[in-house]
Structure 1
Amino acid sequence: MVSTAAPALAEGVSTPLTGIRRTAARRMVQAWQAPVFHLTVEADMTEVGRVKAVSPGATVTDVLVRAAARALMAVPEVNAHVGEHEVTVFPNAHVGIAVAGPKGLTVPVIHDAEALDLASLAERRADVVGRAREGALTRQDITGGTFSISNLGMMGIARFDAILNVPQAAILAVGATTQRHVMGPDGPLWRPIADLTLTCDHRALDGATGAQFLNALVGELAAPLGS
């Protein structure tokens, strides 16, 4: 007679959730409880691709942070925290960048990003991201964020939905830039296009406000980098 009993599992290795991982796990549970919706747009990344020619030390991430900060100033409702009974809108854009570090995912913050030029953003980003990967961030580095960006485009991910970084009202997910056939003013042509997906907390934002922010963001990414 053939036994139908499930095979015994080999002994696994348990790792307690501590520190950053434990905090992240708690926030993920809170994020899943929020009533969210997602909006996606296509962004022409032609001008973004010129970043090295304009500022040799800068990267695509720096352009994204600058564009997001400017869009947050244009649509300040998105630059917000959501509490149990209130929504708090902030006057400055403190933009977090999701970074995979030795202790798990961290989101170091570039404070007052709207006031920084591209070269200054690049310097600040290189500092905090470098320390994030070394596990050397301070509490100041990871607090006070008002908006976050998660960029998996460099890993070949075409499009994804990011989980809210509570208590922030929104987070931007950036997919890979690929050549796509689009219709231009003089006919079809190839353009480098990326999908940008905004996850919004519906307690603070509605679809029209989220769309307004994404339109402002796309406009900033298409604008000349020297402006």
Structure 2
Amino acid sequence: MSAAVEFEEGVTTPLTGIRRTAARHMVKAWAAPVFHLTVEVDMGEAARVKEISPGATVTDVLVRAAARALVAVPEVNVLVGEDAVVAFARANVGIAVATGKGLMVPVVHGADALSIDEIAARRSEIVGRAREGALTRDDITGGTFTISNLGMMGVARFDAIVNVPQAAILAVGATTDRYVLRDGEAQWRPIADLTLTCDHRALDGATGARFLNALAVELSAPLG
């Protein structure tokens, strides 16, 4: 007869504060009818950002490109309600930041009208405050779109959960060298998978594809 097996009891940690709020937020997000679209984007130009702006990062290039793509495809720059969609003229781009207290999404307001230097300064400020637990209400409100970048952590590709009531979120995977055809010539290029999660109540596949195409154009355009 086999001996009874004793199992160690786990340690219970109640969800409080930001984590509790985030958990409730995710339940609402999970209920949204979503679909995903992925494109491969050449990140060669984005990788040159420090030549143009020493204090900037690839994330800053992504914020600027996303903001400009939102202006070009305004159907994506919306918030989704139960019975209506609210459109915005300016692109307020949130950046998902992991902190000791949970995931925070500080916002770069009016990013479509900012230079790389201005975006870098704003991003550095709000990300720093997020990690210090010092964000203000203004820092985390008003977002119309979110970017989640796990590429620097080696994640090749992933699907992000929509930051409701926003209509879409961009998941950025790692940039890796891939052998591709460019200008009729096969060559190694730095490529990243970018995945757009869309709320189907506000967006359809064609609109999401137009946004990703506009984003890819912005990312490949010369920075200087």
* TM-score of Structure 1 vs Structure 2, range by shorter chain: over 0.9
Q: Aligned runs of 1:79-94 on 2, under 5 Å?
A: 79-94=77-92
Gaps of 5+ in 1: none
Q: Does 1:121 align with 2:119?
A: yes
Read off the aligned partner of 2:159 and give its amino acid letter: D
SS at match of 1:191: strand
Correspondent of 2:68 among 70, 91, 107: 70
The whole-number CA distance in structure 2 between the counterparts of 1:113 and 1:123 is 12
Aligned CA RMSD, in angstroms, stands at 0.9
Distance in 1 separating the partners of 2:137 and 2:7? 40
Give the total of aligned pairs.
Answer: 224
Once residues 77 and 131 of structure 1 are traced to their aligned partners in structure 2, the CA distance between those partners, rounded to angstroms, is 31
| Residue type of the alignment partner of 1:38 | H
CA positional deviation for 1:187: 2.0
- State how far apart, in whole Å, the 2-side matches of 1:96 and 1:70 are: 14
SS at match of 2:8: coil
Identical-residue share of aligned pairs (%):
74
Instruction: Please give the TM-score of this superposition, normalised by the length of structure 1.
Output: 0.96
What secondary structure does 1:40 align onto? strand
Counterpart among 173, 196, 199 of residue 198 in structure 1:
196
CA shift digits 1:67-99 (9 cap, x unpaired) = 000000000110111111111111111100000
**Separation in 1, partners of 2:44, 2:12:** 47
Offset at residue 166 of structure 1 (A): 0.5
| Counterpart Cα distance in 1 of 2:182 and 2:133 | 46
In structure 1, the residue matched to 2:165 is: 167
Report the residue type matching 1:91 in the other structure.
Answer: A
The answer for the alignment partner of 1:158 in structure 2 is 156
Deviation at 1:39, TM superposition (A): 0.1
Rounded to whole Å, the distance in 1 between the matches of 2:25 and 2:89 is 24
Superposed CA deviations along residues 130-182 of structure 1, whole A, max 9, x for unmatched, are: 11111111111111110000000000000000001000000000000000000
Equivalent AA in structure 1 for residue 194 of structure 2 = L
Letter paired with 1:113: A
Q: Which 4+ stretches in 1 moved above 4 angstroms?
A: none
Q: Which residue of 1 aligns with 2:175?
A: 177
Letter in 1 for 2:68: R
Structure 2 Cα separation of the partners of residues 96 and 9 of structure 1? 43
Which sections of structure 2, spanning at least 5 residues, go unmatched? none
Q: Which piece of structure 1 moves more, 111-120 or 180-189?
A: 180-189
Measured in 2, the distance between the counterparts of 1:103 and 1:186 equals 49
1:53 aligned to which of 44, 51, 54 = 51
1:28 Cα deviation after fit: 0.5
Q: What is the Cα deviation at residue 22 of structure 1?
A: 1.1
- The residue identity in structure 2 corresponding to 1:2 is S
**Which whole-Å CA distance do the structure 1 matches of 2:123 and 2:75 have between them?**
25
The SS at the match of 1:58 is: coil
Q: Shift of the alpha carbon at 1:11?
A: 2.7
**In structure 1, C-alpha distance between the alignment counterparts of 2:22 and 2:82, rounded to whole Å:** 19
| Paired residue secondary structure (2:20) | helix
Q: Which amino acid aligns with 2:220?
A: A
Shift of 1:106: 0.5
Q: Give distance in 2, aligned partners of 1:142 and 1:48.
A: 26
